[in-house]
Amino acid sequence: AEWGEAEAPFLCGEAALRLPPDAPYELFFPLRRGRFNYSGSAGAGANGAPSRAHSAQEVSDSLARLWAHAILEVLEISAEELPSMGVLLLVRDSYERREVREMLDVLSAIGFGALALHLRSSCACLGAGLQSGCVVEIDSDTVEVAVVDDGVPLSKARYCLPFGRRDVEHYLSWLLEAERGGVLSPASLCLEGFLPTPPAPAAPTTFADEAPP
């Protein structure tokens, strides 16, 4: 791989992924498994330092930098244009109210003139011209299933699984290495934030708009 060079206090996107292993940076993903990533980076940092816990403010600040980079530099939208624009934020059905409020605050601070919020499953059905349906969303690290009836997602008929395409790729790579005679432990399949190590009973999934028993 061709490593990039870095001198800025923080990097986003492709520049962050191309840092050399000895770079004095911490590789951090603000969102992981469909939630704010408080537990730390996805493994070690770019400089080999172990991951660490992050506060809610640190996660929000990282998300703000990432979105500002995407909007201002990748999409090349000037800051002067933002007040005349609106943004539609699509959230997953198993959302956390506090995290959604944080994301709206981030978008407002970036400078958008109007904000709107909607559920992904409803938009998927309405975009396909359907009033009802079962929506299955396969993301890089989550799979979410939601039933939509008359344009409204049913709160008792939705579920979020903490694995996705990236985990399938990881598992297939693990099988190929084993087929080539590599000595691999099943514990190497335990990903941070997915399968616990050692195995422990999984906690039941709850949703923000459901009252506790």
Instruction: State residue 194's pLDDT score.
Output: 44
Residue ranges of E strands in the chain? 31-32, 35-36, 86-91, 114-119, 133-138, 143-149, 152-161
Q: Residue 138 forms beta bridges with which residues?
A: 143
Q: Which residues contact 201 (CB under 8 A, 6 or more apart)?
A: none
Instruction: State residue 38's pLDDT score.
Output: 83
**Cα separation of 34 and 145, whole Å?**
13
| Angle formed by the axes of helices 97-110 and 56-68, nearest 10° | 40
Tokens 């934030």: give the residue: 193
Note if the bond before 199 is cis, omega within 30 degrees. no
Give mean pLDDT in consecutive 10-residue pieces for the chain, a chain of 213 residues.
58 81 80 81 46 80 91 92 93 87 93 92 91 90 90 88 84 80 57 42 46 48
* CB neighbourhood size of 134 (10 A): 12
Instruction: State residue 189's pLDDT score.
Output: 54
* CB neighbourhood size of 130 (10 A): 12
Asked whether the beta carbons of 109 and 64 are under 8 A apart, the reply is yes
Residue 158 exposed, middle or buried by CB count within 10 Å (0-12, 13-18, 19+): buried
Instruction: State residue 188's pLDDT score.
Output: 55
Instruction: State residue 124's pLDDT score.
Output: 92
Instruction: State residue 40's pLDDT score.
Output: 63
Question: How far is C-alpha 99 from the geometric centre of its chain's CA atoms?
Answer: 12
Q: Please give the full DSSP string across 19-41, using - where no structure is assigned.
A: --TTSS-----SEETTEE--S-S
**Cα separation of 112 and 144, whole Å?**
29
